Chain A
């Protein structure tokens, strides 16, 4: 498993299954993520990577199995998921910014309505987070007035403003024009270097190799292989991993 010690993992996923109707999308996934780990999840489309990610903050409810966050079973029905989700930031492929709010209002909204910050305090945090992603001057722009890369950075700032302990990234550069990918990846690299725990579903193998502590290759709802990104990329042990890597590299 992971290279770090046997300390309490931040996230532990145990034997989760997910069915959509008769479609068996996740077929018994186990995964632990230690604090400060950057775990990259790769695999062909339809392999269940995004579903796995969304099971970790329970945007999708696993059909079977458990998810522990900070030692707490958050698949227990008695868990207050709204509270748990304030500690887990998620960024989506399609940004999902609120189009009727400006960039800074997007960042402030949950600070005020979920964490209960006053307007001035929320604005202060939001300004800091926007500056953090290099968008100090774009606070009053509406999402429709920003480029895809800028929108995605606002979405990252929105998640970071909640001071999460874990960040989930769901193919966050896949909807971007090629020239806008780097600005988003740069923000994520810096975040990793600052010690954020991250689970990153991605097709950016360069990013995974450079930033990832661990890489997981999924196919058809199972984890086929996991290890150091460099190992998985250059000499995978499984045939399926090898054939996937040879197609995309």
Chain B
């Protein structure tokens, strides 16, 4: 097959045309065109006509051009689905079969999405747009959203930092062969996995202030709670990683005269940590969103994180566009991380375990 690279890309394109049949090309192009009209078309239209003020947006959403795009999406998608579905078994080459199947699937997506959007924009879109898509109201508050995103990241990073260290320690205890060592670690892990984070946040905050008479800020207390909670989940991730390392690694290290703890530290854990980087980052993505629960402790204006800032502005204005902005804020933070997880997983799967992140083993 063709090697990756732009030259090969061009080769694939010409092969794409040469080995396709008339029917399969029709299905493929109709599928791509239908989905393009459905997804890309409206975005281009909104940008060209201007997304603000909201009256202009409503006009665009009501416009015949937009509806024509959706109808085109439905028709083109339907053609792709029918032609592709009808022809994929009879076309002579693999390329043509992929075109036919791909076109049919994309066409089906175009039909469903177009129909939903057509129905949606035909309804009382004024009300929806005024409430959810009035992006002009965001402008004076962009700075607040920026600070809120920073606060969200501070909470998540600090919590994760505590959680990873704690989790690793708990995982080593939970992997012990002695039940008296395992039991307290298990009790801790099960308690924090078995109670809601929102309860832990309140209980730790008031418990520290009332019970231990510690004068602690909401942020400090919340970071502790996030750390203790993440520690329990990270412990399970690390434990799975430790158990996935072949027994021979521990034996080789013990055979060289290392104590159990040295063998874990120098032979087992560096490998285990590498294996669990993707699931750990998944936990981090979950924590980013869970930091929104800090709102139950009550926050000062400068302490607002992404959810609190959206909710507060919503209750000031009753305009849910702020909630939309909150969601966009979370996506902006989380999507790059999710992509990084996928890339790391691919790299680890490709057998580079021994080389990936080697510098991390030094310490």
Residues of A participating in the B interface, judged by any CB pair closer than 8 Å: 57, 59, 82-86, 88-90, 92, 94, 96-101, 109-110, 113-115, 142-144, 155, 158-159, 162
Is there an interface contact between B354 and A159, defined as CB atoms closer than 8 Å?
A: no
Docked-complex contact B251 and A86, CB < 8 angstroms: no
Given contacts A98-B249, A109-B266, A144-B354, contact A159 B361 (CB under 8 A): no
State the CA gap A111–B30 with chains docked (Å).
67
* B252 near A98: Cβ-Cβ < 8 Å: yes
A118 to chain B minimum Cβ distance, whole angstroms, is 16
Point out the residues of chain B lying under 8 angstroms from A97, CB to CB: 252
- Residue pair A83, B257 in contact (C-beta under 8 Å): yes
Q: Are A82 and B258 in contact (CB under 8 A)?
A: yes
Q: How far is the CA of A115 from the CA of B248 in the complex (A)?
A: 21
Q: Are B274 and A96 in contact (CB under 8 A)?
A: no
Mask for B249-264, Cβ within 8 A of A = 1, else 0?
A: 1011111111100100
Task: Tell me the complex Cα distance, A89–B246, Å.
Answer: 20
Which of A86, A99, A144 counts the most B-chain CB atoms under 10 A from its CB?
A99
Closest chain B residue to A92 by CB distance?
B248
Q: Which B residues are within 8 Å of any A CB, using their own CB?
A: 246, 248-249, 251-259, 262, 266-267, 270-271, 274, 351, 353-355, 358, 361
B255 and A90 contacting across the interface, CB-CB below 8 Å:
yes
Give Cα A20–Cα B267 distance, bound, in whole angstroms. 26
Q: Are B256 and A94 in contact (CB under 8 A)?
A: no
Least CB distance, A122 to chain B, in whole angstroms: 13
Q: Are A110 and B258 in contact (CB under 8 A)?
A: yes
A142 and B262 contact, Cβ closer than 8 Å, known pairs A96-B249, A99-B271? no
Which of B254, B266, B274, B358 is A85 in contact with, Cβ under 8 Å? B254
Distance of A90 Cα from B248 Cα, bound (Å): 12
Rounded to whole angstroms, the CA-CA distance of A101 and B266 in the bound complex is 10
* Seed contacts A86-B257, A96-B252, A113-B266; 17 additional CB < 8 Å A-B pairs: A57-B255, A85-B256, A85-B257, A88-B255, A94-B246, A96-B251, A97-B252, A98-B253, A99-B353, A99-B354, A101-B361, A109-B267, A110-B253, A110-B258, A114-B256, A142-B355, A144-B355
Specify which chain B residues have a CB less than 8 angstroms from the CB of A113 in the assembled complex: 258, 262, 266
CB neighbours of B274 from chain A (8 A): 100
Contact A96 B351 (CB under 8 A): no
Q: Please judge, given known A-B contacts A59-B251, A92-B248, A96-B252, whether A142 and B354 are in contact too, CB under 8 Å.
A: yes
Looking across the interface, which residue of chain B has its beta carbon closest to that of A144?
B354
A residues near B254, Cβ cutoff 8 Å? 59, 85
Contact A143 B354 (CB under 8 A): yes
Q: What are 6 A-B contacts with C-beta separation under 8 Å?
A: A84-B257, A89-B255, A97-B252, A99-B271, A113-B258, A114-B257
Which chain B positions have C-beta within 8 A of A94? 246, 248
| B interface SS class | helix
Q: How far is the CA of A182 from the CA of B361 in the complex (A)?
A: 34
Q: Is the pair A100, B354 in contact by a Cβ cutoff of 8 Å?
A: yes
| Alpha-carbon distance between A166 and B274 when the two chains are bound, in angstroms | 35
Q: Is the CB of B262 within 8 A of A114?
A: yes
C-alpha spacing A158/B249, complex, angstroms: 13
**CB neighbours of B361 from chain A (8 A):** 100-101
Query: In the complex the two chains form, what is the Cα distance from A113 to B257 in whole Å?
Result: 9
Residues of B near A90 (CB, < 8 A) are 252, 255
Determine the chain B residues whose CB is within 8 A of the CB of A101 once the complex forms: 361
Shortest Cβ distance from B357 into A: residue: A100
- CA of A35 to CA of B119 in the docked complex: distance in angstroms? 90
CA distance A99 to B244 in the complex (A): 14
Complex CA distance for A98 and B258, rounded to whole angstroms: 14
Check if B257 sits within 8 Å of A162, measured CB to CB.
Answer: yes
Residues on B with beta carbons closer than 8 Å to the beta carbon of A114 = 256-258, 262
> Known contacts A92-B251, A100-B361, A142-B355: does B271 contact A110 (CB below 8 Å)?
no
Q: Which 5 A-B pairs have the closest CB atoms?
A: A96-B252, A86-B257, A110-B256, A96-B248, A99-B354
- Nearest chain B CB to A89 CB, angstrom units: 8
A98 close to B255 (CB less than 8 A): no
Distance in Å from the Cβ of A94 to the closest Cβ of chain B? Answer: 5
A82 B259 Cβ-Cβ under 8 A: yes
Chain A residues closer than 8 Å to B253, beta-carbon distance: 98, 110
Tell me the bound Cα distance from A67 to B16 in angstroms: 72
How close is B256's CB to chain A, nearest CB, in angstroms?
A: 4
Contacts of B257 in A (CB 8 A): 82-86, 110, 114-115, 162
CA of A143 to CA of B355, assembled, Å: 10
Tell me, rounded to whole Å, the shortest Cβ–Cβ distance linking A92 to chain B.
6
Which residue of chain A has the shortest Cβ distance to B262 in the bound complex?
A113
* B248, B251, B253, B256 — most chain A CB neighbours (10 Å): B256
Q: Closest approach, in angstroms, between the C-beta of B90 and any C-beta of chain A?
A: 47
B256 touching A92, Cβ below 8 Å: no
**Would you give the shortest CB distance from B72 to chain A, in whole angstroms?**
53
Please measure, in the bound complex, the distance between the C-alpha atom of A84 and the C-alpha atom of B351, giving whole angstroms: 36
A59, A96, A159 pick with most chain B CB within 10 angstroms: A96
Q: Using CB atoms, name the residue of chain A closest to B250.
A: A96
| CB of B327, distance to nearest CB on chain A (Å) | 40
For the complex, what is the distance from the CA of A13 to the CA of B163, rounded to whole Å?
Answer: 48
Contact in complex: B256, A162 (CB < 8 Å): yes
Q: Considering the chains assembled together, what is the distance between the CA atoms of A59 and B248 in angstroms?
A: 11
Q: How far is the CA of A225 from the CA of B354 in the complex (A)?
A: 44
Which chain B residues border A100 with CB–CB below 8 Å? 270-271, 274, 353-354, 358, 361
Please name the residue on chain A nearest to B355 by beta carbon: A142
Complex CA gap A110/B263 in Å reads 10
